[in-house]
Structure 1
Amino acid sequence: MPPQDPQAVAHSPLEDAQGLGMGVLLCGLGITLLSYLGFMTGQTAGIALILSYVTGISFGWVFFAINIPFYWLAQKRLGWEFTLKSLGCVTGLSVATELMPRGLRLEALDPLLGVVLFGAVTGLGLLAIFRHKGSLGGIGVVALMVQDRTGFRAGYVQLAVDACIFAVAFALFPPRVVIFSLIGAVVLNGVIAFNHRRDRYIAP
Structure 2
Amino acid sequence: MNSATPTAPDSPALPQPHPHSRLEDAQGIAFGAVMAAFGALLLGSAGLITGQLAGLALLISQATGWGFGPVYLVLSLPFYGFGYRRMGLGFLRRTIAAVLLMVVASMLLPKLISFDSLHPGAAALLAGFVSGSGLLALFRHRTSLGGIGAVALDLQDRLGVKAGWVQMGFDAVLFAVALMLLPLDRVLWSALGAAVLNLVIAINHRRDRYIV
Normalising TM by the smaller chain, what interval? Answer: 0.7 to 0.9
Counterpart of 2:208 (choices 185, 190, 199) is 199
The residue aligned with 2:76 is 67
Q: Deviations over 1:107-129 (max 9, x none)?
A: 11122111100000000000000
Q: Deviations over 1:161-204 (max 9, x none)?
A: 4234213322332211111111110101111111111112234x
Q: Name the SS of the counterpart of 1:21 in structure 2.
A: helix
Shift of 1:91: 0.7
- Cα distance in 1 for partners of 2:79, 2:15 equals 31
Q: Is the 8 A contact 1:153 1:193 kept in 2?
A: no
Q: Deviations over 1:5-50 (max 9, x none)?
A: 8932111100100111111111111111111111111100111111
Q: Name the SS of the counterpart of 2:210 in structure 1.
A: coil
Query: RMSD of the TM alignment (CA)?
Result: 2.6
Q: Name the SS of the counterpart of 2:181 in structure 1.
A: coil
Do structure 1's residue 30 and structure 2's residue 34 form an aligned pair? no
Query: Which has the higher Rg, Structure 1 or Structure 2?
Result: 2
Q: Is the 8 A contact 2:80 2:146 kept in 1?
A: yes
Bigger Cα displacement from structure 2, 49-58 vs 98-107? 49-58
- Cα distance in 2 for partners of 1:86, 1:141 equals 12
Describe how 1:6-85 pairs up with structure 2 within 5 A: 7-85=16-94
Shift of 1:158: 4.7
Bigger Cα displacement from structure 2, 160-169 vs 50-59? 160-169
Q: Name the SS of the counterpart of 1:122 in structure 2.
A: helix
Q: Name the SS of the counterpart of 1:108 in structure 2.
A: coil
The residue aligned with 2:100 is 91
Describe how 1:101-116 pairs up with structure 2 within 5 A: 101-116=110-125
How many residues were matched structurally?
A: 197
Q: Is the 8 A contact 1:34 1:118 kept in 2?
A: yes
TM-score by length of structure 2 reads 0.83
Shift of 1:99: 0.2
- Over 3 Å counting, the alpha-carbon distance change for 1:200 and 1:160 in structure 2 is farther
- Cα distance in 1 for partners of 2:64, 2:118 equals 25
The residue aligned with 2:139 is 130
- Cα distance in 2 for partners of 1:81, 1:158 equals 24
Structure 2 residue identity aligned to 1:52: S
Shift of 1:100: 0.5
Shift of 1:60: 0.9
The residue aligned with 2:11 is none
The residue aligned with 2:5 is none
Shift of 1:145: 6.6
Which 5+ residue runs of structure 2 have no aligned equivalent?
A: 1-13
Q: Name the SS of the counterpart of 1:35 in structure 2.
A: helix
